[in-house]
Structure 1
Amino acid sequence: MSSLHAASASPLTETSHRSSSVRLSFVPILIHVFFWVICLACLIPLLLVLVVSFTDEKTILANGYSFIPEKLSLDAYRYLFSDSSALLHAYGISAIVTIAGTIASLLMTSMLAYPLSRQDFKKRKIVTLFVFFTLLFNGGLVPWYLVYTNVLHLQNTLLALMIPSLLLSGFYVLIMRTFFANTIPGSIIESAQIDGAGEWRIFFQLILPISLPVLATVGLFTVLGYWNDWFNSLVFISDSRNISLQYLMTKTLLNIQFLQSSAQKSGSVQFLFDMPTESVRMAMAIIGMGPMVLAYPFFQKYLIKGLTVGAVKG
């Protein structure tokens, strides 16, 4: 009787195992399809921006945006590069500020986060509270401006593009502190101290080399912050020789809007029809995002690891 029951149950068991295995085999396929959809949702708008930047303005006004334009044109890029020296100079300013600012920011952030991760630092809770406090409250725009102009006298200098609101972030300090605390074993530091290494040597020769994931992650976000910043140029820079690329393109867009409004008031319809407004906006986006698209692959392999390793206590 028992053998009969086992014989009757075995086909059902095999069928259930097969159905479960079939369901499990579909899971990776669904995950891949989902991420392909996400990738396409990110790439298709970028492709549209690129195509529109090379589309004739009259075609855009007549037919709207299209992935297959009726007529291609370089008028938008000719307009932007009409004063190529100013554009290249602004590119250089943004590159210098981004590189120098990112290096200085990573150095200061890691030098503040590392002591906060050490259990033998007696004041770490107080300092951590102070860092967290800066995430919730600030002194306001006017005191912020007065400190950098009347006290530090940074106006019209490259330091004004590097320091205010960008050099040190409490959020990045807390990310690095968590990474150091959860990833770096205390035994490594103790071994280095027994061998006679000082704190500076431990930090630069031991801690930083094994912290590349979090450094690359924070560095990527810092690079994006510096490269996309235009507000500091607006507030602190009145000398056109020190403005960043993003602010230069913002000024260009405002000039186009001013010319449009003037043409509307004067009734110059043909001028409005010939001005490459929409295509210039897209060309500005392509020019502005170019270096970031090239820089991202160098940070990609560290990005996910740097965000997740220190997120869960091991």
Structure 2
Amino acid sequence: MDKSQAISQPHRGSARAKERLYELAVNLAFILICLVFLAPIILIVIVSFSDERSVVLNGYSYFPDKFSLEAYKFILREPDSMLKSYGVTITTTIIGALTGLLLTALLAYPLSRRDFKARNVVAFYVFFTMLFNGGLVPWYIFYAKYVGIGDTFFALIVPNLLLTGFHVMIMRTFFVNTIPVSILESAEIDGAGEWRIFFQIVLPLSLPVLATIGLFATLGYWNDWFNSLIFINKPDLFSLQYLMTKLLLNIQFLAMNTQNSNMMELLANMPKETVRMAMAIIGAGPIVLAYPFFQRYLIQGLTIGAVKG
């Protein structure tokens, strides 16, 4: 063994030891950060299963004096309406997110093509909608009077199909920076049309940005309660978030009208603090479970156009 090789071995060992210590420190740091972010969620879950009186007397605690299911029983006292609202929200989220994602891709793809003559005009229109809007009253009149979607299932889907022009810009940037023009030109030479290129080449190569925008659209539809408030009067079409918002407003109304003895008795037996936490669990639970399926592509989609070192 050469003298230089014998000297270099201790240096390599020390370098590996430093790398392991660095990796251990980074892993511990991320574990602590995850615990910090998980702590409020764990607290919400525990409080939702706590007794209302113990929460009022002792405040929020990770170790409550008594566990209770009264908050969930109060929310689910009418299980049929809750199941209907769940079905409406799930159906709206699936149809709206998929349709909105397709429309966003159909608008973003032509904007990424240099041979599209009107792309600057369309891009300006998309960018303009990111800065200005017509206001609530014209928006309502347009959809309720001219489109005629009031009190229908379409009222929960159509107004949010294109959530924001920012999604279009993200997807256009992905198409420009990620999909080589040579692949599209080769497909055109082979006789493929624009629709075939879009569905068989562009979309399969765009899974990261599709998953990212799909997650944003899914969150938007799942958390939407405003369209139900504005357009819907039929209880069968109430979304989950609007139903729970309405329930919370009823609790606040009872709390503000405590002069009546009947209301005081009803309010005394009503879980006010714990029911808020239970609503958060019921409303956010399914979408939290769906998040890991998007996580694989989410980081790739969010770092589109980033400077690489």
Q: Which structure 2 residue ranges, 5 or more long, are not aligned?
A: 1-6
- 2:136 is aligned to 141
Distance 1:149 1:270, change over 3 A: closer
- 1:227 is aligned to 222
The residue matched to 2:133 in structure 1 has which SS? coil
- 1:4 is aligned to none
Matches within 5 A, 1:38-117: 38-117=33-112
- 2:236 is aligned to 241
Number of residues of Structure 1 aligned to a counterpart in Structure 2: 302
Query: Matches of 1:253 and 1:307 in 2, distance apart?
Result: 35
Contact 1:109 1:169 in 2 (8 A): no
Distance 1:313 1:189, change over 3 A: farther
Query: Matches of 2:195 and 2:74 in 1, distance apart?
Result: 52
Deviates more, 1:122-131 or 1:160-169: 160-169
Query: Matches of 2:256 and 2:295 in 1, distance apart?
Result: 44
Query: Matches of 2:71 and 2:163 in 1, distance apart?
Result: 37
C-alpha deviation, 1:91, in angstroms: 0.3
Cα deviation digits, residues 89-125 of structure 1 (max 9, x gap): 0000000100000010010000000011111112112
- 1:265 is aligned to 259
Contact 1:58 1:273 in 2 (8 A): no
Query: Matches of 1:181 and 1:168 in 2, distance apart?
Result: 22
The residue type paired with residue 55 of structure 2 is: I
1:281 is aligned, of 276, 280, 287, to 276
Contact 2:99 2:161 in 1 (8 A): no
**What is the TM-score normalised by the length of structure 1?**
0.89
1:203 is aligned, of 198, 205, 227, to 198
Query: Matches of 1:75 and 1:241 in 2, distance apart?
Result: 25
Cα deviation digits, residues 117-162 of structure 1 (max 9, x gap): 1111121122111111110011111111111111111111121111
Residue 294 of structure 1 pairs with residue 289 of structure 2: yes
The residue type paired with residue 197 of structure 2 is: I
- 1:120 is aligned to 115
- 2:31 is aligned to 36
Contact 2:89 2:222 in 1 (8 A): yes
The residue type paired with residue 35 of structure 2 is: L
Task: Indicate the structure (1 or 2) with the bigger Cα radius of gyration.
Answer: 1
Q: Which structure 1 residue ranges, 5 or more long, are not aligned?
A: 1-10
Cα deviation digits, residues 250-275 of structure 1 (max 9, x gap): 0011111122222x223565543321
Contact 1:56 1:71 in 2 (8 A): yes
Distance 1:126 1:27, change over 3 A: farther
The residue type paired with residue 164 of structure 2 is: S
The residue matched to 2:66 in structure 1 has which SS? coil
Distance 1:60 1:99, change over 3 A: same
